[in-house]
């Protein structure tokens, strides 16, 4: 065994012009591999494993949900005398105010353009603020219409149905009672869509 070891240390390896003792190459190989491994480890240290996102993207968007049922027009027709009348629709189209000068035994008709701006049928309530001394009726301008239907729920509240993407006329008829005190009266209304 001693002769084998002695032969190993005497042997030389040639790499081109360079001649190195075999024991030096044998000892240098593990040290060289260790150095390469350490260099790779140092080069990759601090890097994350797997996908990494650097930086960020943030933002926001304002979203407004509006009701689909709106009042698109308001006209007043007075039957009887040469009375003054004014009707104004709010900017969002969810309410109106009408001012009417009317004689006893006459009637006034407020014609509202009701517009369903959505792609679905809409149910809503309309609440009228009517002074005492008036009788009120509400009906669609075309009683045979299936696109607009109304039903009275209380003295000043009606339930409405308006078909998909449709505009219909809703007539509100006001009749003063015989005991109404002469004067100037204001009627207002609000439409609220029923959700759910």
Are 145 and 189 part of one and the same domain? Answer: yes
pLDDT digits (tens, 9 = 90+) for 118-130: 888 889 898 988 8
- Is 123 in contact with 193 (CB distance < 8 Å)? yes
The model's confidence at residue 87, banded by pLDDT at 50, 70 and 90, is: confident
Are 108 and 30 part of one and the same domain? Answer: no
Domain that holds residue 22: 2-40
Report the alpha-carbon distance of residue 118 to residue 115 in Å, rounded: 9
Are 175 and 79 part of one and the same domain? Answer: yes
Residue 172 lies in a domain: yes
Structure token digits, residue 104: 């006893």
Are 36 and 77 part of one and the same domain? Answer: no
Residue 25 lies in a domain: yes
Residue 83 lies in a domain: yes
Report the alpha-carbon distance of residue 31 to residue 156 in Å, rounded: 97
Dihedral sign from CA coordinates of 158, 159, 161, 165 = positive
Helix (H) or strand (E) holding 31: helix 22-44
pLDDT digits (tens, 9 = 90+) for 35-83: 776 766 666 665 555 565 566 677 888 787 778 888 888 888 877 665 6
Q: How many domains does the chain have?
A: 2
Are 83 and 149 part of one and the same domain? Answer: yes
Report the alpha-carbon distance of residue 90 to residue 145 in Å, rounded: 26
pLDDT digits (tens, 9 = 90+) for 15-36: 677 776 666 666 666 666 777 7
- Looking at the predicted structure, is the pLDDT value of residue 3 above 80? no
CATH for 182: 2.60.40
The contacts of residue 161 (CB under 8 Å, 6+ apart) are 121, 122, 123, 148, 149, 150
Q: Of 137, 80, 135, whose CA–CA distance to 103 is shortest?
A: 80
pLDDT digits (tens, 9 = 90+) for 137-190: 888 877 656 788 888 898 889 998 888 878 888 898 888 888 888 777 778 888
Are 82 and 169 part of one and the same domain? Answer: yes
pLDDT, residue 15, reads: 66
pLDDT, residue 94, reads: 81
Give how far Cα 129 sits from Cα of 30, 31, 136, 168, 186, Å. Answer: 97, 97, 11, 22, 8
pLDDT, residue 148, reads: 83
What is the secondary structure of 130-173 as a DSSP string? --TTEEEEEEESSTT-SSEEEEEEETTEEEEEE-TT-EEEEEEE
pLDDT, residue 1, reads: 63
Are 25 and 76 part of one and the same domain? Answer: no
Report the alpha-carbon distance of residue 113 to residue 109 in Å, rounded: 13
pLDDT, residue 119, reads: 87
Are 99 and 189 part of one and the same domain? Answer: yes
């Amino acid at each position: 065994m001693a002769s084998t070891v002695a032969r190993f240390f005497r042997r030389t390896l040639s790499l081109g012009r360079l001649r190195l003792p075999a024991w030096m190459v044998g000892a240098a190989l593990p040290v060289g591999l260790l150095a390469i491994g350490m260099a790779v480890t140092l080069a990759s240290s601090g890097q994350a494993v797997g996908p990494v996102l650097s930086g960020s993207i943030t933002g926001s968007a304002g979203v407004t949900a509006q009701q689909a049922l709106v009042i698109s027009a308001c006209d007043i027709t007075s039957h009887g005398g040469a009375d003054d009348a004014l009707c104004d629709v709010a900017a969002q189209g969810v309410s109106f105010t009408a001012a009417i000068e009317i004689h006893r035994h006459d009637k006034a008709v407020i014609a509202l353009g009701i517009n369903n701006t959505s792609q679905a049928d809409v149910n809503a309530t309309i609440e009228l603020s009517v002074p005492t001394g008036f009788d009120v009726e509400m009906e669609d301008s075309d009683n045979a219409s299936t696109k607009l239907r109304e039903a009275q729920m209380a003295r000043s509240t009606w339930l409405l149905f308006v078909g998909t993407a449709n505009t219909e006329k809703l007539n509100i008829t006001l009749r003063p009672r015989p005991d109404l005190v002469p004067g100037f009266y204001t009627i207002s209304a609000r439409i609220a869509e029923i959700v759910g």
